[in-house]
Amino acid sequence: MKSNVGRWAVVVLLSIDLFGCSSVRARNEIPNQEWTVYPGPRKAVDEMGDIFSSRRSEPDWIKGLITAILVVDLPITTVFDTVVAPYDVYRIYNPEDFEKTRKTSESSSERKAESQKAQ
């Protein structure tokens, strides 16, 4: 009988990474004016700094779990941010393109809300 340890290890590592993907979380939290290159690793390192400097109030076992997830996630986040670095640079130097997109999406959502109220 073959051992499925390798498959389970991949499933566990991917599951951990999906829970703590710093790149996605950082990009969702950044306002347009503060967009930077490599926001994911910055967020992961900042969170680890908060844990190690005792600025977080969770129990120690949760801090250990979060740190383990961040350590596993950090290389993957760095690779992902390297791949999307051209997008980040474009977004930094052309913020007006994204402001237009945001305003358009906001106005369309307002129109939908108004049409739902009218019904």
The first and second tokens of residue 47, run together, are 């969170």
pLDDT tens-digit readout, 69-114: 888 888 888 888 898 899 888 888 888 877 766 566 555 556 555 6
The pLDDT tens digits of the residues spanning 32-80 come to 677 888 888 988 898 888 888 888 888 888 888 888 888 888 888 888 8
3-state secondary structure 67-108: HHHHHHHHHHHHHHHHHCHHHHHHHHHCHHHHHHHHHHHHHH
Q: What is the pLDDT of residue 91?
A: 86
Average pLDDT of the residues in 4-11: 78
- The helix (H) or strand (E) run that includes residue 39 is helix 39-52
* Domain positions in the chain: 5-94
pLDDT value of residue 4: 80
pTM higher than the cut 0.75: no
